[in-house]
Chain A
Amino acid sequence: MIYKNAIRFLVLIFLQVLILNHISLSGYINPYLYVYFILLLPFETPYWLLLTSAFAIGIGVDVFSNTPGLNAAASVAMAFSRPMVIRSVSSGIGPDYTGTPSIVNQGMKWFFYYAAFLILIHHTVLFYLEVFSFREFFATLLRVLLSSAFTLALVFVAEYLGFRRK
């Protein structure tokens, strides 16, 4: 389990900085697939480890894209809200899941809401922090929504390609 996650950590950082950072569609869309790592951390991961590994992958991406702290702040915010999102999307008493979150284990609908909420939280923090002004509120909102949709699509593609088996 640890090895799988470590390999995923490295693969996603390099995928992000070498390929995805260079993707530019109409100046608005910018996918951040590295959050897939945080999405796929096992349910039983201790809360502190969740936060620190999110921080680690954020800083890792930051180092290569000249944005110290930006991706780290967004990733930590996302990891912090993960247990709450899991609780709210798994209706009822609460999750008794174990292992890695996935479409196969939790179902399409569950995984969609889970990934969509977390990606939206991550991208909102990321884009508004980068702009750091509400003057361009709606332009930034459009970027958040379009990029989130694109990242979500990539997450589903990765899920179906069986990326997580790496």
Chain B
Amino acid sequence: MRNLYLFFRRHYIYFLFLLLEVVSLSLFFNYNEFQNAAVYKLTTQLSGSVNSLFRNVSEYFTLGKTNQTLTQEIAQLQARMPEAFYKADTSAFFIGDTMYKTEYWYIAAKVISNSTNKRNNFLMINKGRIHGVENNMGVVIGNRIVGQVVGVSKHFSWVMSVLNKDSRISGKFKKNDQLVNIEWNGGSYRYGTVKEIPKHFEIKKGDTIITSGNSEIYPEGFLIGTIEDFTIAQDDNFNSATILFATDFNSLGYVEVVIDMMRKEKEDLKASFHTK
């Protein structure tokens, strides 16, 4: 017993080292569970307040750019207003028409922290649970994609950027609906990789890739990017290509969270199918 005590006493530093490393690594690898812990909610509040303080100052330097983006978005929205459409016969509509029920709703949010230089990038936005944000909601800017909500606290949310190791986006070619997956392999924040393009499929530089709507995160038809370059694989059944992202991830001021009003219905349907 005494020898054991002496052993610990002599080598306590190695045990301390191991203990601290085990604590750090278990925090790191149990990241997803950690997000649900109460302590995480507290730290998110804290870092959210500090980051928004910083953002309040730095925002002034990018006001011009922000104005420009907002103006563009207003223009796009005006194009979607009822007034922008030609009315053939208004008497064909009646109140409560289920054909025109809203499927997606958007909440505007301010980006209070953002990065593009890490392997796994995240954004923090100033909308949280009390505003109706939930996990796995999509985040877009105009008609371009930004990321996916992965953590929600009372007033803030963490968004996993497209520029992340764990980010997989289900997309398709606009010209013929060919489904592909888009990933980011690090390096420049402007380029991603398109995977699983079948051999027989003809790729051209400049082909547009949009969201497929299969993942229930982004609605269908949001812009992902355009093909910049591609390689024909010799020993594989699939080709891959480099995509130039439509989104400028380095200058995000305001973004919108996509709320799918029919998400519960879709999930219930899926769950009822899987249990049988």
Q: Which A residues lie at the B interface, using CB under 8 A?
A: 17-18, 21-30, 47-48, 51-52, 55, 58-59, 62-70, 72-73, 76-77, 80, 127, 129-133, 136, 139-140, 143
Contact = CB atoms under 8 A, between A and B. Distances in A.
Interface residues of B, number: 40
5 contacts: A18-B54, A30-B117, A66-B158, A68-B31, A72-B23
B28 interface: yes
Given A73-B24, A129-B28, A66 B17 contact: no
A72 B158 contact: no
Contacts of A140: 119, 186
A64 B50 contact: yes
A48 B13 contact: yes
Nearest to B191: A27
A17 B158 contact: no
Nearest to B50: A64
Contact of A22 (B20, B27, B115): B115
A72 B27 contact: yes
B237 interface: no
Nearest to A59: B24
B118 A69 contact: no
B120 interface: yes
B191 to A, nearest CB: 9
A45 B199 CA distance: 62
B116 A24 contact: yes
B188 interface: yes
A29 B117 contact: yes
Given A64-B47, A127-B119, A52 B28 contact: no
